Amino acid sequence: MDLLAHLEAYVAAVDEASFSRAAERLGIAQPLLSRRIKTLEEHFDGQLFDRSRRQVTTTELGHLLLPYAQDVLDRAQRLGHVARSARQSAVHGVGVPADCGPAALARVIRAGAERGITFGVQELPPDEREAGLADTSLAYALVRVPPEHAALRVPLGLASAPPPAPEGACADRPEVRQRTRRRAIHLEDLRPPRGSGATRGRPAAVPLLTMIEDQVPFAQDRLRRAVARAGLPEGTVRPAGPMATALAEMLAGQVTLLCTEPFARRHGANWAPLGDASLHRGYDAGAARRRGDEANVPDWLAALLAAAVGAAATAPTTAPDAAGEDAPSRLAARG
């Protein structure tokens, strides 16, 4: 027996002093209401209503039980309220990289609100996002993985100072020379050419700064190795430190910054992708396991996070390999 539905029928019938009006108020058919009241009377083993007269009246038992029945219904209603507001106020932590666009993150928050879920978006470094999922302090997070295994791939490139705006811009020469394709940057192109300005010492390679998001051990190691193999000195790659300073140095043309295209564009920098896609970022959208359940990221959220992080629909990349190394003679004494 659904006690609440039956109590509801009983209380309404007392209030309205009429089965038909009570049924109308509850939006159910009168025979159903009559049946419920009958079932309740059998349950309590006593008449709640006197049906012997033309006008239905409440019996003594019916009057006695009424406040208790009302109380049960009120409490049930409160229970429902509490459950609903608890659901709405529970904040679901979402761990994202520090360089996401604010507008894209706003779309994540809004989409959650539309579904009655409150998202607390947190900018965190990669290791803290992973730890947050593990200890369930985050409900969802973007986790760094090597790009060749990643569900989401985010091209990385070098941001550099934009060229100074030409005098009187090219308003009267609309796009005379349009680029037909965007050129990728190859690390070995960054070597300073020999013989130019070799008066005192050598011209140094322009430093390449990395953001906290890319200071993941495997990514760092890959980048350092690629830089060494491209013939650049160790010191070429260094951590960016405070972002405002790094951006200022980059916009002043003193350094280049390894970052995503949306990030570079937001700060008015030039950007070109790294040719070696194994140096790009890879992400999987992860959900915290709760009570041992395998948790999944809803598709709508995964899509919004992909957009926020600037994921591209690119072809799968492959891990860097030692192709072209003419082993075994490289292991021998050479020259």
Toward another protein, which CB reaches closer, 232 or 247?
232
Toward another protein, which CB reaches closer, 292 or 335?
335
**Structural Rg of the chain based on CA atoms:** 34
Shortest Å distance, C-beta 322 to another protein: 6
Compute the half-sphere exposure of residue 28: CA atoms within 13 Å on the CB side of its CA: 18
Instruction: List binders of another protein among 310-329 (CB under 8 A).
Output: 322, 325-329
Toward another protein, which CB reaches closer, 161 or 228?
228
Residue 289 is a binding residue for another protein (CB under 8 A): no
Q: Give the one residue of 54, 81, 181, 330 binding another protein; rule: CB under 8 A.
A: 330
Residue 238 is a binding residue for another protein (CB under 8 A): no
Instruction: List binders of another protein among 110-169 (CB under 8 A).
Output: none
Q: How many angstroms separate the Cα of 126 from the Cα of each of 79, 154, 281?
A: 40, 14, 11
Element of type H or E holding 301: helix 299-309
Q: 248 in helix, strand or coil?
A: helix
Site string for another protein, 163-202 (x = CB under 8 A): ----------------------------x--x------xx
Strand partners, 260: 156
Compute the half-sphere exposure of residue 244: CA atoms within 13 Å on the CB side of its CA: 0
Toward another protein, which CB reaches closer, 31 or 231?
231
Order of strands across the sheet with 118-123?
A: 118-123, 91-96, 140-144, 281-287, 152-154
Residue 333 is a binding residue for another protein (CB under 8 A): yes
Q: 250 in helix, strand or coil?
A: helix
Q: Give the one residue of 224, 265, 266, 267 binding another protein; rule: CB under 8 A.
A: 224
Size of the residue set binding another protein (CB under 8 A): 26
Count the neighbouring beta carbons within 10 Å of the beta carbon of residue 41. Answer: 18
Shortest Å distance, C-beta 148 to another protein: 18
Q: Give the one residue of 61, 228, 243, 272 binding another protein; rule: CB under 8 A.
A: 228
Q: CB–CB of 309/259 below 8 Å?
A: no
Shortest Å distance, C-beta 229 to another protein: 5
Tell me how long the chain is: 335
Residue ranges that bind another protein, judged by CB under 8 A? 191, 194, 201-202, 224-225, 228-235, 322, 325-335
